[in-house]
Amino acid sequence: MNKWFYINLSVFVLALWNVFTHFSFPGLLLHVSLGLFGLMLILFNWTRHAMYSTIRSSHDRQKKIKIAQLIKKDMPFHRWTGTAALIIILFHGTSAIHHFGFQWNNLKFLSGLLAVFILAGVVVTGWMRRIRPTGLKRRAHLYFGISLILLITVHLLF
């Protein structure tokens, strides 16, 4: 298994820990539920990167073929899953701002706000790659994705 599978699993476990230890659990507030659902969609899409990394690092040809066939089945849904994640995360942010207000001095608020902008960059570069794929767009999409996972982790920790 690739290191990105473990990173995805760690981020997901951290998110579940935050949800289960939230003061309103088991009756979760709307912004918490939307955030968890949006994160699940983001991690589902980010798992594709882990699968591509596994293909590049694996020496077993049959394993590469099997993973490539799985990725091929998911391809038609990848952009739509990312777009749906962006919409759900926007609802998450709107609900959190409605509940808590703007708190510019709060690291959770700032990391979430920056993560939304980066998620928008991931979605835009993903759709742009469909129109005219270039290496620059691919790298931008990848680096936006890595930055997004880092900021989500910061958002979950604070």
The model's pTM = 0.92
**Kind plus residue range of the DSSP H or E element containing 105:** none
Q: Where are the domains of the chain?
A: 3-157
The pLDDT of residue 145 is 96
Longest Cα–Cα distance of the chain, Å, equals 53
The pLDDT of residue 140 is 97
Contact 51, 19 (CB under 8 A): no
Contact 15, 39 (CB under 8 A): yes
Q: Which residue has the tokens 């290496």?
A: 135
Q: Tens place of pLDDT for every residue, the chain, 158 residues? A: 689 999 999 999 999 999 988 877 777 889 999 999 999 999 999 998 889 888 988 899 999 999 999 999 988 899 999 999 999 999 999 999 999 999 999 999 999 999 999 999 999 999 999 999 999 999 999 999 999 999 999 999 99
Contact 135, 158 (CB under 8 A): no
Looking at 21-106, list the stretches that DSSP marks H as alpha helix, in order from N- to C-terminal side. Answer: 30-57, 61-100
Instruction: Find all residues with CB under 8 Å of 140, minimum gap 6, and list them.
Output: 121, 125
Distance CA 95, CA 142 (A): 29
Distance CA 129, CA 120 (A): 14
The pLDDT of residue 109 is 95
The pLDDT of residue 22 is 80
**130 token code pair:** 């469909």
